[in-house]
C-alpha cells in the first residue's frame, strides 16, 4: 500500500502529474515573476498574483524580490562583467552547469536587491512566511509527494527541484544568449531558442523579449507561438489581468506622401523592425547583386552575416572581414554607412521634436538621392508609417 502511496497512480499517471506541476511553475515564472513583476507589462488581480507567489514558494523556494532584482540587473548590465549570468562573459558551459549557483550568489547581494527590487511584495506574508521560512514550502511538497506516491515521490520532487534551474537558469540564460535565431539585432546576444514557445512558457522567444522587454507578448512573427500569451489572454477574459502592455504599434497609411513627425516617431518606436526590414530590402539585395557581378570575394552566407549582425557582437576576426568587405566594395559600403547613420538618427528621438524630424528628413533625402533603387524605395516607405491606428 505504501509503495503506491495514497493516490494509487501508475507510472504514466505520475509522470503526467509531474509535467502538469512543473508546467504550472513555469507559467508562474513567466506570467508573474517575469512579465508582470520584473517588467510591469501587465497588472494581475491580487488573487492570481498571490496564487502564483504561493505556488513558487511551495514548488521552487523562489522569493519574488530576489528573482526580479536579478532579472532586472541582467537587462541593465546585459553581456557585461556585471551581468549575473551572461554566457558571452562567463561562458556557455558555466551558465548551463552553474546557473543556479550564479543565481544564488547574486541573490545574496544586498546592493542588487535594494537597487533592482523596487515594487516587489513587502507584506506580512512575504516577510513572515515566504522569506522567513524560504525552504519550508518545498519540504511540504516533498512530504505531499511521498504521501501520495510512496518512495517514487522523492524522484518526482527531485524533478520539480531541478526543473527551474535547468530550464530557467540554464537553458534560457545560457542557450538563449548563445544559440538560435534572431528576428532583431538588439544590442545584446539574445536569441530565440525556438519559434514555438511551449515547453518553457514562451520564454524560448528570448530575442523578441530583449528587443521589446516591456511587452507582455513575446511572439512577433505570425508563425511564432507564445503559450504564455495564450494564458494571459485567458486570464484577461476572466478579468484576472488588465492593463496589458505590448510592443509599440505601427500602422501603415498609404495615403501619406510626406515624412512628418508622426512617421518619424512610428519608425523610431519600431526601429528594430525597421532595421530588420532595412537588412531584408536593402543590404541583402545590394550584396546579392554585387555577388552576382563578382564584386565580393567572400561566401554570400558570410557576407549576409557580417552585414546583418550587430557590429558590437562581431568577433575581432569578423570585424576585420567586414572592414575589408566595405573597403573593397563601394556600393555595399554606401548602404552599410546609411544603416549606421539611421541608427544614429534613432538616438535623436529623445531630443527636440524639430531636431529629430530634421535628422530623419535629412537621412531620407540622402537615401533618395543615392542612386541606389533599393535604398530609395526603403526611404519612401518610411513616409507611410504612423502611430495612429485606423
CA atoms within 13 A on the CB side of 374: 20
**How many CB atoms are closer than 10 A to CB 23?**
16
Cβ atoms of 301 and 307 closer than 8 Å: no
Cα distance between residue 77 and residue 40, in whole Å: 19
DSSP labels, 184-250: S--SS---BS-SEE-TTTTTTBHHHHHHSTT-S----STT-EEHHHHHHHHHHHTTSEES---SPP-
Cell 516591456, residue located:
214
Q: What's the confidence (pLDDT) of residue 389?
A: 55
Q: What's the confidence (pLDDT) of residue 313?
A: 83
Q: What's the confidence (pLDDT) of residue 390?
A: 47
Report the Cα 187 to chain-centroid distance in Å: 12
Query: Would you state the cell numbers that stand for residue 100, as one nine-digit string?
Result: 543556479
Note the pTM of the prediction, 2 decimals.
0.84
List the pLDDT tens digit at each of the 390 positions of the chain. 457 788 888 999 999 999 999 999 999 999 999 999 999 999 999 999 999 999 999 999 999 999 999 999 999 998 889 988 888 888 888 887 888 888 889 999 999 999 999 999 999 999 999 999 999 999 999 999 999 999 999 999 999 999 888 877 678 888 888 889 999 888 888 999 999 999 899 999 999 999 899 999 999 999 999 999 999 999 999 999 999 998 777 788 888 888 898 888 888 888 888 999 999 999 999 999 888 887 777 888 898 989 998 888 888 999 999 999 898 899 999 999 999 999 888 887 777 888 999 999 999 999 999 999 999 999 999 998 887 654
58 CB contacts (<8 Å, ≥6 apart)?
137, 138, 140, 141
Query: Would you state the cell numbers that stand for residue 356, as one nine-digit string?
Result: 529629430
Cα distance between residue 199 and residue 358, in whole Å: 47
Phi, psi of 43 (to 5 degrees): -115, 125
Q: What's the confidence (pLDDT) of residue 2?
A: 59
32 CB contacts (<8 Å, ≥6 apart)?
44, 48, 49, 52, 53, 56, 64
Cβ atoms of 90 and 176 closer than 8 Å: no
- DSSP H or E run through 163: helix 152-164
Cell 547613420, residue located:
341
Distinct helix (H) and strand (E) counts, the chain: 19, 6
Cβ atoms of 227 and 198 closer than 8 Å: yes
Q: What's the confidence (pLDDT) of residue 294?
A: 76
Q: What's the confidence (pLDDT) of residue 248?
A: 76
Amino acid at each position: 500500500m505504501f509503495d503506491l502511496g495514497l493516490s494509487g497512480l501508475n507510472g504514466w499517471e505520475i509522470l503526467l502529474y509531474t509535467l502538469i506541476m512543473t508546467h504550472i511553475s513555469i507559467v508562474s515564472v513567466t506570467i508573474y515573476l517575469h512579465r508582470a513583476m520584473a517588467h510591469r507589462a501587465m497588472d494581475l488581480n491580487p488573487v492570481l498574483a498571490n496564487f502564483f507567489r504561493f505556488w513558487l514558494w511551495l514548488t521552487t523556494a523562489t522569493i519574488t524580490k530576489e528573482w526580479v532584482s536579478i532579472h532586472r540587473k541582467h537587462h541593465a548590465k546585459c553581456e557585461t562583467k556585471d551581468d549575473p549570468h551572461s554566457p558571452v562573459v562567463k561562458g556557455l558551459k558555466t551558465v548551463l552547469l552553474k546557473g543556479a549557483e550564479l543565481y544564488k550568489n547574486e541573490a545574496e547581494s544586498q546592493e542588487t536587491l535594494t537597487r533592482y527590487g523596487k515594487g516587489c511584495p513587502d507584506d506580512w506574508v512575504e516577510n513572515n512566511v515566504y522569506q522567513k521560512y524560504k525552504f519550508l514550502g518545498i519540504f511540504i511538497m516533498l512530504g505531499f509527494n511521498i504521501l501520495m506516491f510512496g518512495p517514487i515521490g522523492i524522484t518526482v520532487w527531485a524533478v520539480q527541484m531541478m526543473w527551474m534551474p535547468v530550464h530557467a537558469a540554464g537553458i534560457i540564460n545560457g542557450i538563449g544568449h548563445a544559440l538560435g535565431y534572431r528576428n532583431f539585432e538588439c544590442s545584446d546576444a539574445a536569441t530565440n531558442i525556438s519559434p514555438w514557445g511551449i515547453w518553457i512558457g514562451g520564454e524560448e522567444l528570448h530575442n523578441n523579449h530583449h528587443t521589446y522587454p516591456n511587452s507582455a507578448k513575446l511572439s512577433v512573427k505570425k508563425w511564432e507561438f507564445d503559450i504564455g500569451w495564450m494564458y494571459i489572454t485567458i486570464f484577461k477574459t476572466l478579468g484576472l489581468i488588465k492593463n496589458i502592455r505590448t510592443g509599440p504599434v505601427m500602422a501603415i497609411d498609404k495615403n501619406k506622401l510626406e515624412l512628418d513627425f508622426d512617421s518619424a516617431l512610428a519608425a523610431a518606436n519600431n526601429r528594430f523592425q525597421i532595421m530588420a526590414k532595412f537588412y531584408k530590402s536593402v543590404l541583402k539585395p545590394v550584396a546579392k547583386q554585387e555577388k552576382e557581378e563578382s564584386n565580393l570575394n567572400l561566401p554570400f552566407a558570410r557576407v549576409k552575416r557580417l552585414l546583418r549582425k550587430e557590429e558590437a557582437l562581431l568577433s575581432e576576426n569578423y570585424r576585420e572581414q567586414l572592414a575589408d568587405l566595405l573597403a573593397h566594395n563601394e556600393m555595399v559600403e554606401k548602404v552599410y554607412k546609411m544603416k549606421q547613420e539611421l541608427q544614429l538618427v534613432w538616438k535623436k528621438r529623445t531630443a527636440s521634436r524639430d531636431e529629430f524630424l530634421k535628422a530623419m528628413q535629412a537621412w531620407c533625402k540622402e537615401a533618395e538621392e543615392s542612386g541606389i533603387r533599393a535604398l530609395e524605395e526603403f526611404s519612401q516607405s518610411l513616409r507611410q508609417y504612423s502611430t495612429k491606428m485606423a
